[in-house]
Every structure is written in structure tokens, then in C-alpha cells.
């Protein structure tokens, strides 16, 4: 017993000695946080500085203005970069996953060209064509249907980015150097508002900044495609306050004390702003979300429809894209006036949502306020809002889930054809993986939706849709049960 106690005392003495030798490395006081953090801020790029200086000069800006600057600014906007699509980019779209997607779309247009009575002249119009992969696949598949392909008089791309225009030129086999400018240059003096080139198959290909510039002959039927176009259009975000009024969610500099007390264009916001605590942490960012306690001009204009007041409770948030409505109205008018047809394919829901604004970088979701210009910015599409905008101007069918649409249009049969065309096990596995990714309900098959737009004068129901989706002008769809 005595021996064990002696050994224990010896070990304790050794521990104390060791502890004493290490203790000098520690501060002998209890740490009490002072409530501040010292996170290193991200790089102040020219675009970040431009956005910051804009806010410092005019006050907090809308999410819509922030999106426009971050995505399309000529001094570093995301879409002014070249490689943003595919495995090397930040995200992969359905056409980039497999040729089957574009081939199925070509079959849909051919079938409905037949339904329209085989018009002699058609023209394809694509909004937001990415790298041009989808249209290239559609054109390649369309050649198998000779009467249909013979009706095509040209292709029009609605695309602002000069870098993406170059990629589209290359994908369709056009000569960038031979492109003819057919309209004045835009404000930057670098990118033509409209330009025209020749596809390697002899088709005329045109590029335009906006849909308004697309000129189509009266006897030419437009075939419209908008794939992942509406999700990138600017949104405004609002939260219903305790007083029942809508408060706008704005973007401010991280140090909000440096912004003006009465920013131009907004109701006296400084001193009436509060941080939006439920937003994702942006401590490394130069920006943060704030909530206006007063009513901004945007809230007064965008939410002037009283339906928003009756359908949402205090604390509810809504994301609204007036630009999407404007484009949809124009698209619906145009399709009806020219007896055309259109498909809108995007991720979203058939109701109004409130918290879907996000960044996408390196194939992952990211804080949208960090490093503007380095990532795509997006929000889920509100298909009920698009239908409401088109109400009375054109017939809308759907939306239906992408997986259901592709299956109804025969993607499984096309998969079997491709599998039988190769004996390479790796190629076969890749084909099956791509098919599953496009159609599976746990992947793109459910989150992506398809909406068809046809003229009011159209007869019959487009395949594979049901009757046109009715719109109650007094009660649009929402996310409320």
C-alpha cells in the first residue's frame, strides 16, 4: 500500500512538472468575447468595388439590381466569362448531360409542326442558349425529318454575353470573323445588339440582346425554346411585416454605418434597416442582406396587386420577378400573333416561393453575396406567375415534371437505340447514368418543369400535356395549403 502511494505521488509530481513547463504557453486570463469577429474579407475585385461604391453612393440596392450587376456587368459579370457550363464550369445543364435531351425536344417540335398543318416556313428562337448545345442537338435531330428541316429558315439567339456568343458560333459551325453586324452597338461599344452569321448547313443564325430585336416574317412560324432562361432573370424579395406591410429585402455593404441616411430612389431607409438574420452568414463578404422597415418604391410597384396581401401571412416571404412577367407577356403575344409554339423548361414550382435565391459555384450552392461575378445567381421559377402573365394572350399547358415529359416523348426508346449502337460497357453505363439523371424524381426529373405555350387560336392539346391550365384571376397559386 505504501509503495503504491509512493508511486502515485511520483507520477503526480511528474505531471505537475510537465504541466508547469507547458503552462507558460497559455494566457493566464479567462477569455471574454467582445462581440466582434475578425473574419478576413474576400478580395475586393473591380466588380465588388463597383457594387460597393454604388451602394455607398445611393444606398442599399434591390436584389434585382445586385443580380444584374453580378451577372452581366462588363467589368466582371459572371456571364462575361467563357467557361461557365459543363464539368469545367460551375453547373451542368440538361443538354450538356446527354444528346438525348435535345433529340427529344426536336421530336416535340416536329410533332407539333405536324399538328399546325406543316407550315412552309419556320424559325427557331432560343432565349439564353448557353453554349449552343441544345440547338445544335435539335438541328442535328431535325435533319432526319426532311420536310420539317426544309421549313426552317433560320435560328435566332437572344444572348447578351459576347463570350457565350462566341461559344455558340463555334458550336453551330459559324464563322465568328464573318459575322455581320446588323444593328447599332450597345452602350459598351463592344457587343453588337444584333448580328448575323451562317450555319454550316446554310441556315442564317442571328444574335440579339433582347427578344424585341427578333424580326420574323409574318408567314414564318416561330418555334421558341427557353431552357434555364427565366431562373437567371432578376428577382425582388419581400417579407410581410408585423403591421401587414411588405418590407423589401435589400443588399447593403457589410459596414452599413457608412451608407447614406437617405439613399436616392428609396424611402428614408437608413435608420430603418435591420439585418435579415435568417439569411446565410456572409461574414467574409463585403455585403449583407438588410430588411427595410418602411415601404420602398419597389414594394409599392411590384406588390401593388392586392392578392399578395390576402394570400400571405406575417413573416411570409415572396420572390417576384417583374422581368419574367414582362418577357412572358411579350412571348405570349408574339406566339399568338405568329401562330407559333414554345417550350419553357426550368427548375421551379407552380407557386410563389420566398427563399430560393442562391449562388452556384463549382457545382455546389454558395452564398450569393460572396465574390460577385464568380458564380451564377439564380432563383426558382414561379410557373404560376408566368401563366398569370400570359393569361388571355396565349394558352399555357403545364407545367409537368421533366421526367414525365421526357418519358412521354420516348426517351426510353431512344436510350435503347443508343445502347444497341455500342458494345462499349463504359459508354453504355454513361448513357444509363445520364438518362437517370435527366428523369429520376430524386434528380432533375422532378425539380425541372416543362411549360408549353401555344396561340389562343390553337386547336387540340399538345403532347404530352392535358388541357390548358386554367387561371383564376383572383387566386393565383401560392405555396400555402
Whether 258 has a pLDDT exceeding 70, the answer reads no
Q: Element (H or E) spanning 122, and its range?
A: strand 122-127
Per-residue pLDDT tens over the stretch 307-365: 787 789 999 999 999 999 999 999 999 999 999 999 999 999 999 999 999 998 887 88
- Reported as a pLDDT band with limits 50, 70 and 90, residue 264 is very low
Query: Cell match 451577372: residue?
Result: 71
Which position has the higher pLDDT, 273 or 172? 172
How confident is residue 418, by pLDDT bands cut at 50, 70 and 90?
A: very high
CA separation for the pair 399, 409 (Å, rounded):
15
Residue with cell 459508354: 427
E strand spans, 229-286: 236-240, 246-253, 273-275
pLDDT at 463 over 80: yes
CA distance 179 to 206: 9
Residue 227 has pLDDT above 90, yes or no: yes
Q: Are 232 and 379 in contact (CB under 8 A)?
A: no
What does the alpha-carbon distance between residue 432 and residue 416 come to, in Å, rounded to a whole number? 9
The string of pLDDT tens digits covering residues 115-139 is 989 999 999 999 999 989 999 999 9
Average pLDDT of the chain is 82
> Which CA distances in Å does 82 have to 131, 161, 166, 175?
9, 9, 9, 18
Using 50, 70 and 90 to split pLDDT, how confident is the model at 38?
Answer: low
Among 61-65, 104-108, 199-203, 415-419, the least confident range: 199-203
Cα distance between residue 98 and residue 103, in whole Å: 9
Would you place residue 174 in the very low, low, confident or very high pLDDT band (cuts 50, 70, 90)?
A: confident
- Which grid cell sits at 430? 454513361
DSSP character at residue 458: -
Burial of 353 (0-12, 13-18, 19+ CB in 10 A): middle
Residue-range domains of the chain with CATH: 80-233+322-454 (3.40.50.12710), 236-320 (no CATH)
- If DSSP codes are grouped into helix, strand and coil, which group holds residue 223? strand
Are the C-beta atoms of 195 and 180 separated by less than 8 Å?
yes
Which stretch, 111-120, 238-247, 281-290, 361-370, has highest mean pLDDT?
Answer: 111-120
Amino acid at each position: 500500500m505504501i509503495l503504491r502511494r509512493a508511486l502515485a505521488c511520483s507520477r503526480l509530481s511528474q505531471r505537475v512538472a510537465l504541466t508547469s513547463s507547458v503552462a507558460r504557453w497559455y494566457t493566464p486570463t479567462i477569455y471574454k468575447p467582445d462581440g466582434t469577429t475578425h473574419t478576413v474579407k474576400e478580395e475586393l475585385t473591380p466588380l465588388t468595388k463597383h457594387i460597393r461604391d454604388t451602394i455607398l453612393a445611393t444606398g442599399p440596392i434591390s436584389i434585382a439590381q445586385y443580380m444584374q450587376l453580378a451577372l452581366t456587368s462588363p467589368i466582371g459579370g459572371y456571364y462575361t466569362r467563357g467557361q461557365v457550363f459543363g464539368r469545367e464550369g460551375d453547373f451542368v445543364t440538361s443538354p450538356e448531360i446527354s444528346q438525348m435531351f435535345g433529340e427529344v425536344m426536336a421530336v416535340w417540335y416536329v410533332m407539333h409542326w405536324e399538328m399546325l398543318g406543316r407550315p412552309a416556313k419556320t424559325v427557331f428562337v432560343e432565349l439564353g442558349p448557353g453554349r449552343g448545345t441544345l440547338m445544335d442537338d435539335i438541328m442535328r435531330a431535325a435533319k432526319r425529318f426532311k420536310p420539317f428541316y426544309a421549313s426552317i429558315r433560320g435560328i435566332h439567339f437572344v444572348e447578351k454575353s459576347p463570350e457565350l456568343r462566341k461559344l455558340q458560333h463555334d458550336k453551330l459551325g459559324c464563322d465568328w470573323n464573318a459575322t455581320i453586324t446588323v444593328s447599332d452597338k450597345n452602350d459598351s461599344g463592344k457587343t453588337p445588339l444584333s448580328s448575323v452569321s451562317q450555319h454550316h448547313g446554310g441556315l442564317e443564325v442571328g444574335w440579339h440582346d433582347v427578344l424585341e430585336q427578333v424580326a420574323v416574317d409574318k408567314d414564318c412560324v416561330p418555334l421558341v425554346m427557353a431552357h434555364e432562361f427565366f431562373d437567371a432573370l432578376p428577382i425582388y424579395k419581400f417579407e410581410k411585416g408585423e403591421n401587414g406591410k411588405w418590407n423589401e429585402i435589400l443588399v447593403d455593404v457589410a459596414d452599413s454605418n457608412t451608407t447614406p441616411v437617405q439613399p436616392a430612389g428609396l424611402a428614408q431607409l437608413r435608420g430603418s434597416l435591420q439585418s435579415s438574420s435568417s439569411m446565410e452568414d456572409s461574414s467574409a463578404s463585403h455585403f449583407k442582406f438588410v430588411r427595410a422597415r418602411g415601404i420602398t418604391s419597389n414594394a409599392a410597384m411590384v406588390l401593388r396587386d392586392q392578392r399578395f396581401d390576402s394570400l400571405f401571412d406575417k413573416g411570409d416571404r415572396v420572390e417576384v420577378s417583374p422581368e419574367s412577367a414582362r418577357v412572358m407577356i411579350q412571348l405570349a403575344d408574339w406566339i399568338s400573333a405568329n401562330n407559333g409554339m414554345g417550350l419553357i423548361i426550368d427548375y421551379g414550382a407552380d407557386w410563389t416561393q420566398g427563399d430560393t435565391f442562391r449562388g452556384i459555384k463549382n457545382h455546389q450552392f454558395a452564398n450569393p453575396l460572396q465574390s460577385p461575378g464568380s458564380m451564377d445567381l439564380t432563383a426558382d421559377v414561379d410557373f404560376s406567375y408566368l401563366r398569370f402573365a400570359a393569361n388571355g394572350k396565349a394558352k399555357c399547358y403545364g407545367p409537368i415534371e421533366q421526367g414525365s415529359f421526357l418519358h412521354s416523348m420516348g426517351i426510353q426508346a431512344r436510350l435503347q437505340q443508343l445502347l444497341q449502337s455500342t458494345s462499349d460497357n463504359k459508354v453504355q453505363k454513361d448513357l444509363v447514368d445520364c438518362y437517370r439523371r435527366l428523369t429520376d424524381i430524386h434528380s432533375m426529373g422532378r425539380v425541372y418543369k416543362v411549360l408549353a405555350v401555344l396561340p389562343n387560336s390553337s386547336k387540340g392539346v399538345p403532347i404530352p400535356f392535358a388541357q390548358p391550365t386554367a387561371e383564376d384571376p383572383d387566386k393565383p397559386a401560392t405555396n400555402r395549403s
